[in-house]
Structure 1
Amino acid sequence: MTPELAGRTAIVTGASRGIGFATARALHSSGANVVLTARTEEAARSAAAEIGPGALGMGAHATDDAAARACVDRTIETFGSLDILVNNAGTNPAFGPLLAQEHGRFTKTVDVNLWAPIRWTSLAVDAWMGANGGSVVNTASVGGLTPTPGMGVYNLTKAALIHLTRQLASELAPRVRVNAVAPGVVRTKLSETLWHESEDQVATGVALRRIGEPADVAQAIVFLASDRAGWITGETLLIDGGQLLGSGVPGSAPSNTGNAT
């Protein structure tokens, strides 16, 4: 059988580890060429080498406009198309009460989590997708759907990213589909403080009794990027193991643990 994404090319931002790396690997396993970006060239190339032929690593900080443009251009030059963009890069330097945050951390979070997806999507559309079609998937968060302690700035950006997904889906239809995933607590470096020392306790607040793995999210992203989701746009797929449902025990409340993807 021909892999469902054979002949297509994807860029995944923030792909040297965690959800981004798992997504790049899953897209590649489905037949796509993949370009992995990371803050450093070394990290991006190392991740691409781990995936193998058909994977290219490029150093490109999510908010570096020149690096993003160079990445898009090289992707098309190397593989001949840019069919899938996964805006996965994210950050959360502004932990704590919302009103206690300082402007620098606030703007950094907004720039990486919200402006970067806008800019990368703009470049992809101008260079290829506007004329040839494509699929964009944004990595949002369950935190964009519910308040959580200490995660106010991060959650604001993810809530905005969910709305941005719908806005772009409307503006870019019918050639380009735009969707998002909203993961719950996933076993990644960025979210480590949320689960590392209390994984069992966190898992008891999730209906499926475990925290997520990067591959759980990656497979959903592959689905949204593929033709199987060809009539889906503007949607955000919640992937939280039932975190917002709670543990499933009668009388239990939904988990109030946030997420940083």
Structure 2
Amino acid sequence: MPDNVLSPPPDLPFAGRVVLVTGGSRGLGRAMVAGFARAGADVVIASRDGDACARYAAEISAATGVAALPYGVHVGHWDELEGLADAAYDRFGRVDVLINNAGMSPLYDDVAEVGEELFDKVIAVNLKGVFRLTALVGSRMAADGGGSVINISSRAADRPRPGLLPYAAAKAGLNALTVGFAHTFGPAVRVNAIMAGTFFTDVSRSWDRTAFDERAQRFALRRGGEPEEIVGAALYLAGDSASYTTGAVLTVDGGQP
């Protein structure tokens, strides 16, 4: 068993560690930022809305006492990601956990209506940006002797529905990147993915809730998930208990068929 398994205080298992979360100001990312901060980690909160990141960073610091760095960035823009990585390392000197959570999944009525611009945006945010940021941060983690990367994938990757094909393709590619980066940066850096099912976030406010509740009766848990319910999986994959887990894709979906 690695020596560091026993080193963190049991009440704050991520004390002294730095966690960078993209899409960290809302939805699943917001919940994961809170979960890691409560576990003692300093956090980097990144999203397109820099003001929202700043507000949430102040809230998290006040509530938990950890340091929180807000950073406005569009993860689909290749040239912006080096600045994000540099800002994290300039402030904290390290990144122990990278969570690639930012994503977008625009719906459409007819696949023939999907334009090149929409397709490229979906691929850029969900796949291209993850590749670039993981390459930048993962390389530094490996040079520093360790780290953990968690990619937030989707059940659409293996259950592609007609209205989500570019998104599903991007998330399937993300699963492939997870395995590939695990081998690229191993043995020092572990790279895993959470294949998330349906969670109630700000995006879900526009859903036909009655129709969803009917569909959810086919789930093993008969419901959608709350954002906080993804946090345990993230803490596990990022932590020392998962020291022999890499290249894995963990499904967290309430038992969707």
* Superposed pair shares fold, TM > 0.5: yes
Question: Structure 1 residue 102: deviation in Å?
Answer: 1.2
Equivalent residue for 2:34? 25
Q: How does 1:118-137 map to 2 (within 5 A)?
A: 118-137=131-150
Q: What secondary structure, in the 3-state scheme, does the structure 1 residue paired with 2:84 have?
A: helix
- Once residues 92 and 168 of structure 2 are traced to their aligned partners in structure 1, the CA distance between those partners, rounded to angstroms, is 36
Following the alignment from structure 1 to structure 2, what is the Cα–Cα distance between the partners of residues 210 and 50? 30
**Bigger mean CA offset, 60-69 vs 143-152:** 60-69
- Number of aligned pairs? 244
Q: Distance in 1 between matches of 2:206 and 2:248?
A: 29
Bigger CA drift: 163-172 or 136-145? 163-172
Overall identity of the aligned pairs, in %: 36
Structure 2 partner of 1:238:
251
Give the alignment partner of residue 129 of structure 2, picking from 94, 116, 121.
Answer: 116
2:14 equivalent to 1:14: no
Of 131-140 and 46-55, deviating more is: 46-55
- 1:27 deviation in Å? 1.0
User: In structure 2, what is the equivalent of residue 229 of structure 1?
Assistant: 242
Q: Does the 8 Å CA contact 1:94/1:105 hold for their aligned counterparts?
A: no
Partner-residue secondary structure (3-state), 2:95: coil
Provide structure 2 residue ranges, at least 5 long, that are not aligned to the other structure: 1-9
1: CA distance, partners of 2:121 / 2:135: 20
Counterpart CA distance in 1 for 2:256 and 2:166 is: 21
Question: Are the aligned partners of 2:200 and 2:225 in contact in 1 as well (CA < 8 Å)?
Answer: yes
Structure with the higher fraction of residues in helix conformation: 2
Q: Residues 34 and 121 of structure 1: is their aligned pair in 2 closer, same or farther, counting only changes over 3 Å?
A: same
Q: Which residue, out of 154, 158, 173, partners 2:186?
A: 173
The AA in structure 2 aligned to 1:223 is Y
Q: Deviations over 1:16-67 (max 9, x none)?
A: 1000000111111111111000102101111212211422211111123443
Name the residue aligned to 1:216: 229
Matched residue SS, 2:105: coil
Q: Classify 1:20/1:174 alpha carbon distance in 2 versus 1 (closer, same or farther; 3 Å).
A: same
Q: In 2, are the aligned partners of 1:72 and 1:124 still within 8 Å (CA)?
A: yes
Q: Distance in 2 between matches of 1:150 and 1:218?
A: 28
Aligned-partner Cα distance in 2 for 1:128–1:151: 34
Q: Aligned pair 1:104/2:117, yes or no?
A: yes
Report SS of the residue matched to 2:202.
coil
| 1:99 Cα deviation from its structure 2 partner | 4.3
Q: Contact (CA 8 Å) 1:14, 1:38: kept in 2 or not? A: yes
Q: Is the 8 A contact 1:208 1:241 kept in 2?
A: yes
Following superposition, the deviation at residue 234 of structure 1 comes to 0.6
Describe how 1:153-164 pairs up with structure 2 within 5 A. 153-164=166-177
Q: CA 1:195–1:69 in 2, change beyond 3 Å: closer, same or farther?
A: farther
Offset, 1:100: 3.7
Structure 1 counterpart of 2:69: 56
Q: Equivalent of 2:98, from 82, 85, 93?
A: 85
Where structure 1 has 5 or more consecutive residues not aligned to the other structure, the ranges are 245-261
Distance in 2, matches of 1:159 and 1:181, equals 12
Structure 1 position 149 matched with structure 2 position 149? no
Question: Does the aligned pair in 2 maintain the 1:37–1:59 contact within 8 Å?
Answer: yes
Letter in 2 for 1:49: A
Q: In the aligned structure 1, how far is the partner of 2:143 from the partner of 2:121?
A: 29
1:191 to partner: Cα distance: 4.2
Distance apart, 1:208 and its partner CA = 0.6
Q: TM-score, normalised by structure 2?
A: 0.89
